Amino acid sequence: MKTIIEPFRIKAVEPLRMTTREEREGILRDAHFNVFNIRSRDVLIDLLTDSGTGAMSSLQWAAIMRGDESYAGAESFFRFRDVVRDLTGFDHILPTHQGRAAERILFELVGGPRKIVPNNNHFDTTRANIEHSGAEAVDLPIAEAADPANRHPFKGNMDVAKLEALVARVGADRIPLCMVTVTNNSAGGQPVSLENLRAVRAVCDRHGIPLFLDACRFAENAFFIKRRERGYQERGIRDIVREMFELADGATISAKKDGLVNIGGILLIRDEALAQRADALLILTEGFVTYGGLAGRDLEAMAQGLEEVVLEDYLAYRIRSTEYLGERLLRIGYQIVEPPGGHAIYIDAGGLLPRIPPAQFPGQALVCALYRAAGIRSVEVGSVMFGGKDTPPPLELVRLAIPRRVYTQSHIDYVVEAAAEVYARRAELRGLRMTHEPPFLRHFTATFEELA
Ligand SMILES: *Cc1c(COP(=O)(O)O)cnc(C)c1O
């Protein structure tokens, strides 16, 4: 088989600034060993997140000039609405400025004290919005998700038996809706099968519970279904996407992922009465229903991005480039969350650095080492992000998220070379001590010092 190449050529370039190891040493120290404090100009390859960091196409930039900035009834809204309607089958389509704005509106309407919202795994903003409403967010992943080496093809699935047990225990009246996140970001960007979605739907139907998707990476999930789920090899991506959305009563979407834009979100709601209440809240805090806190040009870029993200050549390249990084890291000797997810590779830093205990943040030590070695910015997903609570996180991970259409294979090869260098010197890595601990979402602003 031939190499799967980037299915685009480059028209505009953005220079990268090289730094020396000595410079990076000083930058890391000035940032108090927290890479969120590093300026982007001091980063060579930025794998902090795949959210809003993608490159737009020439057609998206062209669409931006077409943006209709009318307050009400802008043409750009109708173009956006028609694309989303065609893709998802939903009629009621609310634009929002990000995914979390859609979450905030939804959970202000259906959340509240004593309510419980299950999900395969809640993303952190989803959980925060549910808890902010007074409700409780419950994760129900399948058991395989806890084992990084387990190669379950749909490791993002929800445990349907656990959902059934939760409903039996608390009663359906306390569950305003059930969510499923596709792909399952917090579990390593792992996909959810249509079989699992249908099984969750059946439980929801039996108990009259609406099913919502957190559909940020709907296209990547659909591609995994086409590749891995029996009976879908010959089906088109659009077809599979439609089937996913038809199983749902609504969805929240961050368009900063599979919308292929730098800003934007979507709220989809089937129920007419609920949709009308959502419209009212949208107007209250985001903007009128035909722009929802976005400029007309943003809606145009989103409409075009949603057309491009379901193209099979794009998805083949996208999923393969993430897998390529994962395979190379495995070959070096790293344990990663297997199989490679859609948008990121997660390294098991706890297993790599057994002499650094969780209290000394092995993930953060690896993040610092990758920056020092080569100016690569990654992010810790372990005791820095989730520690300081009653239950410590099960794994000490480092995430390398791949921005969409931004880096070429040689950039990724460079990351692999740096990772090999760090691997060879892993015995020299040092743990850290947290010198400032913010009360919540501490990973963004915590400061550290390195231990001797
Ligand atoms: C990014 C993300 C969100 C939140 O979207 P924002 O646009 O960042 O507000 C919600 N859920 C998942 C699964 C995400 O990846």
Give the range of the structural domain holding residue 368, as residue numbers without chain letter: 21-50+311-450
d(CA 59, CA 83): 15
Same domain, 213 and 330: no
Q: Is residue 435 part of a domain?
A: yes
CA of 256 to the centre of ligand 1 (A): 8
**Which of 263, 290, 308 is a domain's end point?**
308
For residues 33 and 435, the answer to whether their CB atoms sit within 8 Å is no
Establish whether residue 378 lines the binding site of ligand 1, counting it when its CB lies within 6 angstroms of any ligand atom. no
Helix or strand run (H / E) with residue 447? strand 447-450
pLDDT digits (tens, 9 = 90+) for 169-192: 999 999 999 999 999 988 889 999
Q: Is residue 6 part of a domain?
A: no
pLDDT of residue 29: 97
Q: What residues in the chain have per-residue pLDDT under 70? A: 390
Same domain, 194 and 286: yes
Same domain, 273 and 327: no
For residues 55 and 262, the answer to whether their CB atoms sit within 8 Å is no
pLDDT of residue 390: 66
Establish whether residue 214 lines the binding site of ligand 1, counting it when its CB lies within 6 angstroms of any ligand atom. yes
User: Angle, nearest 10°, between helix axes 75-88 and 237-246?
Assistant: 90
Same domain, 96 and 149: yes
Q: Is residue 379 part of a domain?
A: yes
CATH of the domain at 327: 3.90.1150.10
Q: Is residue 9 part of a domain?
A: no
Dihedral pair phi/psi, residue 17, rounded to 5°: -105, 125
Q: Is residue 64 part of a domain?
A: yes
CA of 185 to the centre of ligand 1 (A): 9
CA of 237 to the centre of ligand 1 (A): 22
For residues 275 and 313, the answer to whether their CB atoms sit within 8 Å is no
pLDDT of residue 32: 98
CA of 346 to the centre of ligand 1 (A): 18
Ligand 1 pocket test target in 49, 51, 192, 346 with most atoms within 8 Å of CB:
51
Please count the structural domains in the chain. 2
> What Rg do the C-alpha atoms of the chain give, in angstroms?
22
Same domain, 173 and 212: yes
CATH of the domain at 151: 3.40.640.10
Same domain, 36 and 91: no
pLDDT of residue 439: 79
* 264 CA closest ligand 1 atom index: 7
Residue with tokens 């309407």: 109
Q: Is residue 270 part of a domain?
A: yes
**Which of 274, 308, 342 is a domain's end point?**
308
CA of 100 to the centre of ligand 1 (A): 6
Establish whether residue 183 lines the binding site of ligand 1, counting it when its CB lies within 6 angstroms of any ligand atom. no
Same domain, 291 and 316: no
Establish whether residue 188 lines the binding site of ligand 1, counting it when its CB lies within 6 angstroms of any ligand atom. no
* 265 CA closest ligand 1 atom index: 7
Dihedral pair phi/psi, residue 157, rounded to 5°: -55, 155
* 102 CA closest ligand 1 atom index: 9
Same domain, 247 and 346: no
How many other C-beta atoms are found inside a 10 Å radius of the C-beta of residue 112?
13
Establish whether residue 265 lines the binding site of ligand 1, counting it when its CB lies within 6 angstroms of any ligand atom. yes
d(CA 133, CA 112): 5
Ligand 1 pocket test target in 183, 212, 257 with most atoms within 8 Å of CB:
257
User: What sign does the dihedral 121-124-125-130 (CA atoms) show?
Assistant: positive
Tell me the residue ranges of DSSP E strands in 289-439. Answer: 344-348, 376-377, 379-381, 397-401, 432-436
Q: Is residue 7 part of a domain?
A: no
For residues 32 and 435, the answer to whether their CB atoms sit within 8 Å is yes
Instruction: Work out the mean pLDDT of the chain and round it to a whole number.
Output: 96
Same domain, 78 and 212: yes
**Which of 308, 337, 352 is a domain's end point?**
308
CA of 199 to the centre of ligand 1 (A): 25
CA of 184 to the centre of ligand 1 (A): 11
Dihedral pair phi/psi, residue 253, rounded to 5°: -140, 130
For ligand 1, atom 8: residue with the closest CA: 99
Q: Is residue 11 part of a domain?
A: no
What pTM does this model have? 0.96
For ligand 1, atom 12: residue with the closest CA: 123
Same domain, 86 and 110: yes
Same domain, 259 and 335: no
Establish whether residue 254 lines the binding site of ligand 1, counting it when its CB lies within 6 angstroms of any ligand atom. yes
d(CA 253, CA 298): 15
> Which residue type, as a one-letter code, is found at position 166?
L
CA of 231 to the centre of ligand 1 (A): 30
Dihedral pair phi/psi, residue 344, rounded to 5°: -160, 160
For residues 193 and 154, the answer to whether their CB atoms sit within 8 Å is yes
Establish whether residue 218 lines the binding site of ligand 1, counting it when its CB lies within 6 angstroms of any ligand atom. no
CA of 214 to the centre of ligand 1 (A): 8
CA of 343 to the centre of ligand 1 (A): 13
CA of 230 to the centre of ligand 1 (A): 29
Establish whether residue 181 lines the binding site of ligand 1, counting it when its CB lies within 6 angstroms of any ligand atom. yes
CA of 125 to the centre of ligand 1 (A): 7
Establish whether residue 123 lines the binding site of ligand 1, counting it when its CB lies within 6 angstroms of any ligand atom. yes
Tokens in use for 98?
A: 């990000």
pLDDT digits (tens, 9 = 90+) for 29-62: 999 999 999 999 999 999 999 999 999 999 999 9
Dihedral pair phi/psi, residue 95, rounded to 5°: -80, 140
Same domain, 279 and 156: yes
For residues 44 and 396, the answer to whether their CB atoms sit within 8 Å is no
